[in-house]
Amino acid sequence: MHYMFLSCRKATELIEKKLLIGLSAKEKVQLMFHTSMCDACKKYSKQSHELDDLIRHHIENFIPEQSDLRPIASEFKEKIVNSLEKKE
Amino acid sequence: MSIAKGNITDWVEKYTDELVSWAYYKTKQQALAEDIVQDTFIAAYNNIGKFQSKSSPKTWLFSILKNKIADHFRNKLQQSMVHESDMQSESSSNILDRLFDNTGSWVTASRPSSWDTPEEELLDNQEFNKVLKACMDLLNEKSYLSLQYKYLKGKEGRVICQELGITPSNFWQILHRAKLQLRECIDQNWFN
């Protein structure tokens, strides 16, 4: 196979590598060449970038409305304040 | 009473519930969540000099908490990698064989098609985030912890790899499989 040709499997791998640590010059050309001809991987690339933003936002901000967390006892807050007092 | 301590006592009263509920959502263990929040207040107390009154105490406390939770995820991830000599666990290599044929082309049913909702409308959409959460819960432990650590730390990829003691190629392969799986899951459960 010509060195310019990537499989879709390899192209999606490079799309993720690009997002994480960047690509070598050769990899950039290979990926550009592939996505210019492959509609599915072009869509994957766009969605992978969107997904990156969505995951980041979700991980930083999302709290489900309902939680089975037990209520925080006031003793717990006292315990924290006491642990700070010991440090003085 | 020092200014620092007066502030923090007040913050404990005001923000503990929110901090614990977030930590609990992340760790799924109440006792652990409470321990991490207590550590957060101790760290805040010890570093009160670094707090700039221009920023909100809540934002500052949450940034400390995020770091503590990320460290917890890193420890768990490192433990799980010690126990697993083969980097490619079975379930995660299956995703590649399911989505691509033996020449590496997309299997017809798995070819990405357009998503019709713009990203901005999804970011704070509760229903979408529930689907995303359900999809993330289906990831194997290593992928889940890797994603959480990467995005909580918000640092550059190479730095994250150094902190995790993992080679960049291993890390991006974990993320590659995780993203393929999440994309497929969201595609099936939200866009279709």
Give the pLDDT of residue B1: 47
Q: Which of the pair, B45 or A3, is modelled with greater confidence? A: B45
Chain A CB contacts of B132 below 8 Å? 54-55, 58, 62
* ipTM score over 0.90, yes or no: no
CATH number of the B3-81 domain: 1.10.1740.10
Residue A73 pLDDT > 50, yes or no? yes
Q: How far apart are CA A48 and CA B168, in angstroms?
A: 18
Does the pLDDT of residue A18 top 50, yes or no? Answer: yes
Phi, psi (degrees; rounded to nearest 5) at B106 = -60, 135
Q: What is the pLDDT of residue B6?
A: 73
**Nearest CB to A62; choose among B8, B133, B171:** B133
Judged by DSSP in three states, B106 sits in strand
Contacts with A58 from chain B: Cβ below 8 Å = 129, 132-133, 136
Residues across chain B: 192
Cβ contacts of B168 on chain A, cutoff 8 Å: 20-21
Could you give the CA distance from residue B72 to residue B62 in angstroms, rounded to a whole number? 15
* Residue A87, pLDDT score: 67
Q: What is the pLDDT of residue A64?
A: 76
Angle ∠(B154,B150,B161) on CA atoms, nearest 5:
105
Q: pLDDT by residue (tens digit) across B30-44?
A: 999 999 999 999 999
Which residues is B100 bridged to in the sheet?
B106
- Write down the domain spans for chain B: 3-81, 86-191
Chain B residue with CA closest to A15: the answer is B176
Domain ranges of chain A: 1-65
DSSP string, A24-82: -HHHHHHHHHHHHH-HHHHHHHHHHHHHHHHHHHHHHH---S---PPPPPHHHHHHHHH
Q: What is the pLDDT of residue A62?
A: 86
Q: What tens digit of pLDDT does each residue of B10-27 get?
A: 999 999 999 999 999 899
Q: Does the pLDDT at position A2 exceed 60? A: no
pLDDT in tens, B55-102: 889 999 999 999 999 999 999 998 887 766 554 455 556 899 999 999
**pLDDT value of residue B80:** 82
pLDDT surpassing 60 at residue B3: no
What pLDDT, in 10s, does the model give residues B133-192? Answer: 999 999 999 999 999 999 999 888 999 999 998 899 999 999 999 999 999 999 999 997
The per-residue pLDDT of chain A, averaged, comes to 89
B8–chain A nearest CA distance, Å: 8
What band does A5 get if pLDDT is binned at 50, 70 and 90?
confident
Helix (H, G, I), strand (E, B) or coil at B71: helix
State the architecture of B86-191 in CATH terms: Orthogonal Bundle (1.10)
Tell me the average pLDDT across B101-119: 94
> Which residue of B144, B148, B164, B183 is the best one to mutate when testing the A interface, meaning the one whose CB has the most A CBs within 10 A?
B183
